Structure 1
Amino acid sequence: MSPDDLCALASTHGQAALQRWAAEDPQRLALNAARSPQLPVRAIVEQLTLRQRYRQKFASWLPYLLLESQACEQAASQALARWKARNLLPAQSQSVVDCCAGLGSDIFAAAEAGHHTQAWEHNPLLASLLRHNAQALKLPLTVHQGDGCTDLAEAGTVLADPDRRASGRRSLQPSDWSPTPAAILAAAHNAACIILKLPPGADPSSIASPGHRQLIVLSQAGEAREQLLCIYPRQPATVLPARAVGLDYLGNLRFDVQGDANTAPPPPLSWQQPGPVFIDPDPALIRSGLIATCAQRHRLSLVHPQVAFLHGNDPGTDFPGSRFQVHDSGPWENKILRRRLRQMGLSRLRISRRHFPWTVESIHHRLGTREGGSMRLFCYRNGDEALAWTLAEPLLAEG
């Protein structure tokens, strides 16, 4: 999107065209672009394509938004943004500042919740886009273009989702982000709370921070979406146990697990035949380090202390994750397993592997199978450090 595209799309004619062609196939519309030379058809086609792609992500906001491709990728979904506004922001209205707002999901949700909101965005185009979208949503949001770290002294809560492509490509190294976490923490040292959003693959321990802190990992529809470092600079320096939260596509709460500082690590396990139920945990539990805590609460066993697969005896367990009924399992012996699959008439499998030396493609090659079907083959190391497998089918639809 260019500044000229934004002006054209935000105009009365542009908005009318987006509404008129909302149900059109973008590709068919692109072929007919020559018929409407007075309209920015290419930009309209891009908007309609992005709206189709992110329909679930932005939900009821979508008809009012103008979108930019890269900003859409990093933006929070409406469901996650609203959960954060309800559960992490104070109940009483206060000053909330988003110092690197991007497309604006988090600050939109804060404004909807009645807080006094300001948004900063260093990219001039995104700042203009943010201003247009806030007005379209009729939200009382003040938007500034510039360095958000210059105006955080009076903020009650600071939201921060740094640009992870500032170096030209997506990076998981905090020193490559803009602004850097260190710069945000220095500028917001008087804030009551700083909510720093990290990508799922980043290492929270690499970020030094003053005061009280807690890691919260959010998943939606079975996929890890965000890691949040909630930092309270004014409170004594302590680390709360991590928290894992899972929502469905619509934003309904599926689970909310709080860690226990007194939970001991699981003991080394010897190999045991998996029980009738096999579980692939929700990734929020894995990334928050809460597998052992949750397993103890649900009386489940890990297949290996460092492998995030579990098994148990209760098909009705509500452990967060995908549940499977075990058909067979055993130590890895290629010929025996290959013969067993042929006896069952299985030429297509879905493979999940952890702590296992071979790729999915290599496993299929060894077994003479292809990816697909409903049966799942779990490949892992067991408690005796030997290669093992479990063949199972879903008890419920995954995700």
Structure 2
Amino acid sequence: MDPDALSRLLSPDGWALLGALPPYDERLAMVLSDQLRKRGVEAPLVAAALTQSRLRARAREKFDDFADGMLFTQEGLEQATRLTVAARHAQRYAAAGCTRVADLTCGLGGDAMAMAALGLPVLATDLDELTAALATVNLRHFPDAEVRHADGLGLDLAAEGVDGVFADPARRTTGGRRRHDPAAYSPPLDRVLAVRAQVPALGVKVGPALPHDLVPDDAEAQWVSVDGDVVEAGLWFGPLAPDGPGRGALVLRGREATAVRTPPDGVPQPDVGPVGAYLHEPDGAVIRAGLVALVAQEVHGRLVDPTIAYVTSDTLVTSPVAQSYRVLDTMPFGLKRLRTALRERGVGRVTIKKRGTAVVPEQLRKQLDLRGDAEATIVLTRVAGAQTVLLVERA
């Protein structure tokens, strides 16, 4: 979006048009565009409105109904925190007793919205003028939220009365590729971390691929998943980490939330052993946090291989941070043997899970050439170092 497009959308006619558009349908977009132009709506406004309609439709996954009253850019939407996760961020600041929070890289304002919704006064800043303008629109319903086009790292936080700071550094290049090196974040992670010398209550959203050896010693690092997808990691300092430094995972599934973290005496070393009657797949956030051993402990199980994040057990004990399966068959990996086993069961549709193998699921699915009516789930992995196939069903 450019400033001219924003001006058109914020005009009375533009805002009314955006509100009157039907739910976005890619198949009907060109037809709708032609109809609007024939009715005399200027082409630039039509393009801007339809672009926002498309982005709002995509944004519902992160912002639910709130998306219908917001404005977006493609890049901003990709970076934005889901409201369910942003609410968890905001709760940390409220629980820490913060009275004014500075969101130093506010983007479209999603995290600032969650904080303001809890009654926390927020100072939201962004270096990009257009992004700051969009955040102003998105935060318009919150009188205690102030948006500035400014470099948040240049603020005199003490003079601003700020006692809590949040930052979400940009982690994508202009071409949309992810930056995995924290030194390549914008701003770099080290510059953001330096803020805790001024304000101890610092929270930083980082990429979930952050290596453990880059986590500061004084941080609580928490990896977060939503309905099975690992969406972020957070570094929390000072009063925002009331249980002190350590690694943890937050698993959000529907309305359920489960948090696990490193115990005070460290993570236990799990046993390794043969495949039992059940297989447990730890949530991705738990794996990223390096806490698979806690799942093994909880389900009274063991690892199938010392390098693979699958847990097996002889009896069924479930965990809210793992998906459990009943093991129906175990065999060495071999295309012919696997094809025969599936055809004997009348399997025509197969879900393929993999870990620790170079097999490409789509290629394997074609090679299996299955034609039955039944469905099955297979797990391709290593067991005691050997390539193995497990035929499983949800327990």
TM norm structure 2: 0.88
Equivalent residue letter for 1:273: V
Deviation sequence 1:232-265 (CA, Å, 0-9, x none):
3999xx972311111234xx23311122142454
Deviation sequence 1:200-230 (CA, Å, 0-9, x none):
22325335x4x62111111111111110011
1:173 has 2:181 as partner? yes
Aligned equivalent of 1:159: 166
Deviation sequence 1:2-49 (CA, Å, 0-9, x none):
111111112222221122114364614223232244351111111111
Answer whether contact 1:215 1:227 (CA < 8 A) is retained: yes
Identity %: 27
Structure 1 pair 103–204 and aligned structure 2 pair: CA distance change class (3 A): farther
Aligned equivalent of 1:391: 391
Aligned equivalent of 2:227: 221
Deviation at 1:103, TM superposition (A): 1.1
Equivalent residue letter for 2:276: P
Counterparts in 2 of 1:177-216, with a 5 A limit?
177-206=185-214, 209=216, 212-216=218-222
Question: Quick one: which of 272, 275, 281 aligns to 1:273?
Answer: 275
SS of structure 2 residue aligned to 1:14: helix
Separation of aligned partners in 1, 2:268 and 2:357? 22
Separation of aligned partners in 2, 1:234 and 1:130? 25
Deviation sequence 1:249-284 (CA, Å, 0-9, x none):
4xx2331112214245435524x2331x32222111
Separation of aligned partners in 2, 1:34 and 1:109? 38
Question: Quick one: which of 224, 238, 243 aligns to 1:232?
Answer: 238
Q: How many residues align?
A: 384
Separation of aligned partners in 2, 1:172 and 1:358? 25
Aligned equivalent of 1:2: 2
Deviation sequence 1:306-336 (CA, Å, 0-9, x none):
2112223454623423332322113334433
Separation of aligned partners in 2, 1:110 and 1:234? 14
| Unmatched segments (≥5 aa) in structure 2 | none
Structure 1 pair 58–233 and aligned structure 2 pair: CA distance change class (3 A): closer
Counterparts in 2 of 1:1-399, with a 5 A limit?
1-23=1-23, 25=25, 27=29, 28-39=31-42, 40-135=45-140, 137-151=141-155, 153-154=157-158, 155-166=162-173, 168=175, 169-206=177-214, 209=216, 212-232=218-238, 240-249=245-254, 252-267=255-270, 269-270=272-273, 272-275=274-277, 277-315=278-316, 317-364=318-365, 367-369=368-370, 374-382=375-383, 384-395=384-395
Deviates more, 1:290-299 or 1:253-262: 253-262
Deviation at 1:124, TM superposition (A): 0.9
Answer whether contact 1:150 1:187 (CA < 8 A) is retained: no
Deviates more, 1:356-365 or 1:152-161: 356-365
Separation of aligned partners in 1, 2:283 and 2:330? 22
Structure 1 pair 341–149 and aligned structure 2 pair: CA distance change class (3 A): same
Deviation at 1:291, TM superposition (A): 0.9
Deviation at 1:69, TM superposition (A): 1.2
Answer whether contact 2:83 2:110 (CA < 8 A) is retained: yes
Equivalent residue letter for 1:185: L
SS of structure 2 residue aligned to 1:79: helix
SS of structure 1 residue aligned to 2:95: coil
Deviation at 1:91, TM superposition (A): 4.8
SS of structure 2 residue aligned to 1:54: helix
| Unmatched segments (≥5 aa) in structure 1 | none
SS of structure 2 residue aligned to 1:296: helix
Answer whether contact 2:348 2:370 (CA < 8 A) is retained: yes
Separation of aligned partners in 2, 1:92 and 1:216? 20
* Structural RMSD (CA): 2.7
TM norm structure 1: 0.87
Equivalent residue letter for 1:47: Q
Separation of aligned partners in 2, 1:373 and 1:13? 55
Equivalent residue letter for 2:125: W
Deviation sequence 1:70-98 (CA, Å, 0-9, x none):
10011011111112212454353412111
Separation of aligned partners in 2, 1:330 and 1:221? 30
SS of structure 2 residue aligned to 1:269: coil
Answer whether contact 1:278 1:325 (CA < 8 A) is retained: yes
Deviation at 1:184, TM superposition (A): 1.4
